[in-house]
Amino acid sequence: MSQAVPAIDPYALTRDGLAALMADLGEPAYRAEQLHAWLVRGIDDPAQMTNLPVALRERLAARFAHSRPELVAHTVADDGHTHKLLLRYPDGEAIETVLMLYPKRATVCISTQAGCAMGCPFCATGQAGFRRQLTAGEVIRQVVVADAALRSGGINGEEMPAGAPDHVTNVVFMGMGEPLANLPATVATVQWLHDPEGFNLSARGITVSTVGLVPGIRRLADLGLPLTLAVSLHASTDDLRDELVPVNRTHPLAEVEAVMREYRERTNRRVSIEWCLIGDVNDSDEQADRLAAIARRLRAHVNVIPMNPTPGVRWKEPSKRRTKAFVDRVSRAGAEITLRDTRGRDADAACGQLLASYTLGAGTRLPASVGAAERVDLLQLDPGMTS
Ligand code: SAH
Ligand code: SF4
């Protein structure tokens, strides 16, 4: 193998891509299926792929080397029910993946971009700006790593709480970045996760959260899968939404509402509205009434998330009293609404706080929160932990 051959991230390859790789290596087609089966189980180290010939394992190892991210930190919160993984890629960019465990659910919250270009002023990721797109392989691997950890009963030596599922049941695109501003990776990930011979995850267990990029929502509907679409509305008037979600100036509320209706009609799936509730900003009765009207028109479910305080954000979280009044008012107006818990807040793993408290790269510095975390280990993502 000449040195000029670029490294391949096996998780970035579709089934066709794996077949092409094997053809390129002069191998029979069934080798691609064998390789795929290992990848689905979270194993990407060819040395462990015992049903492949040794010579092929060595050739694959030469191609796959250096595509694995490094697990820089692992923090645990909520009594072992929330695990935050900080992954760093060979180019120094870092992202976070959060695993949330419930009695019968294991949800992975994945990132699609390092940073985000959308600039929502209450969001820590938005404050940091856009760094780069993640590849499909980098997005898929976040789920695979979490799944393999559950199958093995622990992450990084930390055992999973009793009763936690032994595999990932739900995936939410709610980590860093705007999934519909990275459509190729988002679509490839959804297809990989849903593939019955792949991860075989029900489309109903997948939620894509977006600020409301209209062309991207249409593209998702084109997939013909009953994915859950969650639109981060946060404001029910254009004036306020222009401020909270700057992309509203390009896709104003009326257009977002229309495409949400279209999505529901084409997929037969109820859509969700996300509402980050910010004290004295979007918690008024007027906002509640207009939100209720939109939700009723769309027959959408509203999820309210009290704003997580974030460094550099001038706004504050809403008072308990205002939060209750807001939720009650929307509910009384006949819309379905749920107040979400603030999972992971004590490990900076809650929404909007990812990567807030630290910077990586030159002069690497770990987050302040890590020092206080129950468990931090620095190690290479070891395939041994995933088998
Ligand atoms: N970019 C996509 C998905 C990632 S953000 C989107 O915006 O929908 C996931 C969710 O976290 C969004 O609903 C976002 O509004 C919310 N969020 C961002 N910052 C937050 C904060 N400080 N407190 C609570 N929720 C926040
Ligand atoms: Fe980006 Fe979502 Fe944060 Fe807005 S809320 S800046 S779209 S990650």
Residue 112 contacts residue 175 (beta carbons within 8 Å): yes
Residue 81 in this model has a pLDDT that exceeds 80 = yes
Residues 48 and 176 in one domain: no
Lowest mean pLDDT among 143-152, 176-185, 235-244, 368-377: 368-377
Average pLDDT score, the chain: 86
Output the pLDDT for position 42.
Answer: 83
Pairwise CA distance, residues 211 & 231, whole Å: 6
**Domain finish residue from 28, 46, 63:** 63
The catalytic position among 27, 93, 96, 257 is 96
Q: Is residue 6 part of a domain?
A: no
Considering every ligand atom, which ligand is closest to the CA of 233?
A: 1
What CATH number is attached to the domain comprising 44? Answer: 1.10.150
- 76 and 56, same domain (yes or no): no
Q: Determine the pLDDT at residue 48.
A: 92
The CATH number covering residue 255 comes to 3.20.20.70
Does the beta carbon of 229 lie inside 6 Å of ligand 1?
Answer: no
Same domain for 190 and 239?
yes
Does residue 345 lie in a domain region?
yes
Q: Do 24 and 125 reside in the same domain of the chain?
A: no
pLDDT at 377 over 90: no
Pairing of strands 301-306, 336-339: parallel
**Residue 224 in domain:** yes
Residue 351: active-site member: yes
Q: Do 166 and 20 share a structural domain?
A: no
Cα 361 to its chain centre, rounded Å, is: 22
Asked if residue 2 belongs to a domain, the reply is no
Q: Which of 112, 120, 207, 278 to mutate to test the pocket of ligand 2 (most atoms within 8 A of CB)?
A: 120
Regarding whether 173 and 124 lie in a shared domain, the answer is yes
Please write the tens of the pLDDT for every residue from 58-76. 999 988 876 778 888 888 8
Taking only the tens place, the pLDDT of each residue in 170-200 is: 999 999 999 999 999 999 999 999 998 888 9
The alpha carbon of residue 95 and the mean position of all alpha carbons in its chain are separated, in whole angstroms, by 10
Q: What is the pLDDT of residue 28?
A: 96
Which of 96, 98, 116 for mutating ligand 2's site (highest number of atoms within 8 Å of CB)? 116
pLDDT at residue 387 is higher than 80 = no
**Burial class of residue 236 in the structure, from the number of CB atoms within 10 Å of its CB (0-12 exposed, 13-18 middle, 19+ buried):** buried
Residues 289 and 178 in one domain: yes
Domains of the chain: total: 2
Q: Ligand 2 centre from 186 Cα, in Å? A: 15
Ranges 36-40, 246-250, 333-337, 366-370: which has the least confidence: 366-370
Q: Which residue has the tokens 């695979």?
A: 144
Known active-site residue 96:
yes
Instruction: Indicate whether 219 and 284 sit together in one domain.
Output: yes
Domain boundary among the residues 23, 41, 63 is at 63
* 44-58, 148-162, 294-308: range with lowest mean pLDDT: 148-162
In a domain, 239, yes or no: yes
Are residues 20 and 104 both part of a single domain?
Answer: no
> Is 224 found in the same domain as 82?
yes
Q: Is 126 in the pocket of ligand 2 (CB under 6 A)?
A: yes
In the predicted model, is pLDDT for residue 367 greater than 60?
no
Distance between Cα 62 and ligand 2 center (Å): 37
Within this chain, do residues 215 and 260 fall inside the same structural domain, yes or no?
yes
Closest ligand to C-alpha of residue 310 is 1
55 found inside a domain: yes
217 has a pLDDT exceeding 60: yes
Q: Which atom of ligand 1 is nearest to the CA of 308?
A: 23
Q: What is the pLDDT of residue 182?
A: 98
**What pTM does this model have?**
0.89
Domain limit, last residue, from 63, 79, 103: 63
Is 385 part of any domain? no
Residue 387 lies in a domain: no
**Domain interval for residue 43:** 15-63
Annotate the chain with three-state secondary structure: CCCCCCCCCHHHCCHHHHHHHHHHCCCCCHHHHHHHHHHHCCCCCHHHCCCCCHHHHHHHHHHHCCCCCEEEEEEEEHHHCEEEEEEECCCCCEEEEEEEECCCCEEEECCCEEECCCCCCCCHHHHHCEEEECCHHHHHHHHHHHHHHHHHCEECCEECCCCCCCCCCEEEECCCCCHHHCHHHHHHHHHHHHCCCCCCCCHHHEEEEECCCHHHHHHHHHCCCCCEEEEECCCCCHHHHHHHCHHHHCCCHHHHHHHHHHHHHHHCCCCEEEEEECCCCCCCHHHHHHHHHHHHHHCCEEEEEECCCCCCCCCCCCCHHHHHHHHHHHHHCCCEEEECCCCCHHHCCCCCCCCCCCCCCCCCCCCHHHHHCCCCCCEECCHHHHC
Q: Are residues 206 and 291 in the same domain?
A: yes
**Residue 95 in contact with ligand 2 by CB distance below 6 A:** no
